Structure 1
């Protein structure tokens, strides 16, 4: 199931840049674009997209005003775009998935799209909450001349290590030659979440979440490990934990 996307920006070149980058990503479908806040408000209400790239400062309604004016049930997941860095508080209050400074580089945009795909099963309205593709059940790890299969169900967290990633499973660590971004796309977002640009955690391993003053958070896992969760991942993580708790209640 594709994530339906709209782009809201008064600069045609900025809209084009996002469109060109979306072309290279599977699982996303552009359904509309708007050049001002007033038409964006009407268009989002009519199209009911899943995800909106929204420029913060535009003629008429600002991007913040557009999102704030929408009822929560009609408000899409949002990735805010701006040339300034003083809108982080408003972005957090709107539960925006990410807050990207222009010009946006490819890596940061990819991270934001990853978060959208992770959050989509919980945010889609009136649709079946299922991953776009079947998640993997095990990872193949080379150990000398042997190949070891590590079940995904045993993996507790995954940490980036350059072009490699380290799997933590049942007290052991396994090095796989795959970037964290690629691994995130292979995992079930209802079970695993990226909490930092360098860390993926299995949701049921989180024992405690403690908010920090800069809107990051500290996560204590059931094995005693303490990790830092970046504020840009917190809205999607909080929603995933909420749904996990409802399911287990």
Structure 2
């Protein structure tokens, strides 16, 4: 069972997170806090994951996390209406960064990411290849060769060396099967292999444009930018 704390000074916001967590059968809420001072007292021995509002009166969520010794700090999923805190969040090893109002699908992805970090996932290994049916013929695509993936109705289009291969699987289903250390969703209709991102260009509307190593340009939605920046930051400092 994953032990979760919800830390937010706004009762309505806390209620929204709590209602979503109640739908997760392997999650139990062990603490509900309304300020950063309460968060600073939490330790990983009692709490596995903390959903933390960044901006709170008195002591901010980021300052409260920083006050907890690294070895005792719970995994943190940050909640905020702004994305300007992302860099410091990743320095504190936050595993995800959810923008308010919270998107249900992104919330589910954040919980899945916590499960993987804690070793609670049932996935013992990530697929290394995919079989593509073309008429009566089967061809095989190595996961390590995929640059990015786009949604195409009930299919996912795998982009490999300039070629496009259709896999009969929705992007949402496929995203849960891929190794999150290598592949991340950046838009409702796109997944990228993280090591293929060559350039990140923020846009005025808080979305971003990605340039991949093969020259492909993709739009990254602000909803997914937090997790992408966290992954890029980890790759740079690993």
Q: What TM-score range do you get, normalising by the shorter chain? A: 0.7 to 0.9
Once residues 230 and 18 of structure 2 are traced to their aligned partners in structure 1, the CA distance between those partners, rounded to angstroms, is: 31
Once residues 58 and 175 of structure 2 are traced to their aligned partners in structure 1, the CA distance between those partners, rounded to angstroms, is: 29
Out of 183, 199, 203, the residue aligned to residue 194 of structure 2 is 203
**Equivalent residues of 2:54, 2:78 under 8 A apart:** no
**Structure 2 length normalisation: TM-score?**
0.74
Change (3 A) 1:66 1:115: closer
**Equivalent residues of 1:45, 1:70 under 8 A apart:** no
When structure 1 is superposed on structure 2, of 69-78 and 149-158 the one drifting more is 69-78
**Equivalent residues of 1:8, 1:55 under 8 A apart:** yes
1:133 aligns with 2:124: yes
Change (3 A) 1:225 1:14: closer
Change (3 A) 1:116 1:14: closer
Aligned CA RMSD, in angstroms, stands at 3.6
Which residue of 2 is the match for residue 112 of structure 1?
107
Once residues 209 and 131 of structure 1 are traced to their aligned partners in structure 2, the CA distance between those partners, rounded to angstroms, is: 33
Q: Indicate the SS of the match to 1:165.
A: strand
1:6 aligns with 2:5: yes
Once residues 15 and 22 of structure 1 are traced to their aligned partners in structure 2, the CA distance between those partners, rounded to angstroms, is: 11
| CA displacement at 1:201 relative to structure 2 | 0.6
1:8-157 residue pairs with structure 2 within 5 A?
A: 8=7, 10=11, 14=16, 16-23=18-25, 29-30=27-28, 32-37=30-35, 40-42=38-40, 44-45=42-43, 47=45, 49=47, 51-54=49-52, 65-71=60-66, 73=70, 74=73, 76-80=75-79, 87-89=81-83, 92=86, 95=89, 97-101=97-101, 108-115=103-110, 117-118=112-113, 133-157=124-148
Q: State the Cα deviation string for residues 211-247 of structure 1 (Å, max 9, x = none).
A: 2233322111121111112223223222322332345
Which residue of 2 is the match for residue 187 of structure 1?
178
| CA displacement at 1:56 relative to structure 2 | 7.5
Which stretches in structure 2 are left out of the alignment for 5+ residues? Answer: 90-95
Which has the larger share of helix? 1
| CA displacement at 1:169 relative to structure 2 | 1.1
Which residue of 2 is the match for residue 212 of structure 1?
203
| CA displacement at 1:150 relative to structure 2 | 1.4
Change (3 A) 1:17 1:195: same
| CA displacement at 1:136 relative to structure 2 | 0.6
Change (3 A) 1:97 1:66: closer
**Equivalent residues of 2:208, 2:221 under 8 A apart:** yes
Change (3 A) 1:3 1:176: farther
Which stretches in structure 1 are left out of the alignment for 5+ residues? Answer: 82-86
Change (3 A) 1:242 1:37: closer
**Equivalent residues of 2:75, 2:114 under 8 A apart:** no
Once residues 54 and 229 of structure 2 are traced to their aligned partners in structure 1, the CA distance between those partners, rounded to angstroms, is: 24
**Structure 1 length normalisation: TM-score?**
0.71
